[in-house]
Amino acid sequence: MSAEKTHLEICNLTREQYPQIKTLMDEAYPDLGGAWPSHTIFRLIDQFPEGQIGIVDDGVLVGLALSVQVDYARFSNPHTYEDIADGHDRVFSDTTGDALYGLDVAISEQYRGMRLGRRLYDARKELCRQYNLRAILAGGRIPRYYNHSSEMTPMEYIAKVDQKELYDPILSFQLANDFQVKRLLKKYLPEDQESVGYATLLEWNNIMYEPTDTVIESTKSIVRVGAVQWQMRCVESVEEMLKQVEYFVDTVSDYKSDFILFPEFFNAPLMGLTEQSNQTEAIRYLAEYTETFKNAMSRMAIEYNANIITGSMPLAEDDKIYNVSYLCHRSGKIDEQRKIHITPHEQNDWVIQGGDKIAVFDTDAGRVGIQICYDVEFPELSRILATQGLDILFVPFWTDTKNSYLRVRHCAQARAIENECYVVIAGSVGNLPEVESLDVQFSQSAVLTPSDFSFPHDATLNEATTNTEMLLFSDLDMDKLKILHSEGTVRNLKDRRHDLYEVILKKRDI
């Protein structure tokens, strides 16, 4: 077949194409009775026209894929071919079904080797997504099994095909198209001598499936985040700083942001209101206002309808100081995340203690985690969050020099790639000579992404101007993450070698 003369198009099959359908199926299934009768094909076309897909070359049908809608709970369990087609070759499509069932695929012998089967499978997957069906199911023949039936069981044969020790023209193709073998079907098609009557129950999961049909309960597909690159400046009172906070919350909420992220220790200028000779006393002074800021920012989250990550603030508890970030939900709920890894400066000058709990938080715009500055430099924490379904990782940070900033930036980028999630980082800029340890700041807030075709070529969705107070707005496409998890060029989460290594929590109550 000359490629120069080939003009392929995807189409939905019509009744008028039946003679060509019959020719294709007779050629593909000579040992299984050939084509279905016309009344079967007509019923499929009439009941579920979108599920009957063809490929034509200048009007000539050269490939086809037939499908029906079925109930997932019924057909994801053992069944036979007769449960699909009755004794009169009638196949029924269930318009209320929540899964697609793949029937037959046939490619003209002259067109084999052109990967038309992959096109048909991709068309089925797109149909599954458009119809919001939970999966594609299929009973797959294993036509080379008869060559090995005397020396191995069907499951042993399937395992060897999966490991590419053996080749099966149908099973190998289906595995290459991301289908998973769920179980062995016995006596699926008894007259199939090549498969010795066996078949595989194959499943492709639609990761875009949304089981709910109400707008209120549905998960947002586009999430808007606003990061505040905060200018450190002298203030005369707590009220003055809270007004500055509310200004940014008000401004960010005007752009309908779902999340607002502040930097680590953004309210540190308040230490300038007290004597600075002892840094330990200064941080404890700052901690006296943490409850005030937490409650005020929770009120703002409700009033301005945005989830606020409060950067971080010192928390005094049982005569110890912790570095804590609060997630103030717009519902009024408040979650907290304590910094786990404490820098030498925090330990030596402020005597800050490390927390011992990490969690992914459910919000109305996705599952999020918080890592305060230094924590993002430890990949184990993010990996644990990723196993809990992390979508967005927020990293409030505070760095003084460019090399300190780049440690945070590069590690945050790595966390986005290896955990297939978005990472939002926000820091402070400027200087405050009146406050010890606030002499200089360096920041370039950013929104970082995984590195694949669906994302920016440099895996950076957005970034602020360096060392300039500003707001950074970004829209995060959550559907891209779902597709990446299943169909990415590489799949860092899916391809982990659990047989060789694992990351575990020693404290099981975390």
Q: In this structure, how many other beta carbons lie within 10 angstroms of the beta carbon of residue 212? A: 9
- Evaluate whether 93 touches 48 at the Cβ level (below 8 Å): yes
Q: C-alpha dihedral over 348, 352, 354, 359, to 10 degrees? A: -140
Instruction: Give exposure, 222-243, as e/b (b: 16+ Cβ within 10 Å).
Output: ebbbbbbbbbbeebeebeebbe
Supply the DSSP symbol for 364.
Answer: B
Spatial distance between the Cα atoms of 89 and 418, rounded to a whole number of angstroms = 50
Q: Known catalytic residues? A: 264, 339, 373
Spatial distance between the Cα atoms of 104 and 320, rounded to a whole number of angstroms = 68
In three-state secondary structure terms, 335 is strand
- Evaluate whether 260 touches 307 at the Cβ level (below 8 Å): yes
- Evaluate whether 107 touches 54 at the Cβ level (below 8 Å): no
Spatial distance between the Cα atoms of 76 and 99, rounded to a whole number of angstroms = 9
Enumerate the H helices of 460-501 as residue ranges: 478-487
Spatial distance between the Cα atoms of 498 and 501, rounded to a whole number of angstroms = 5
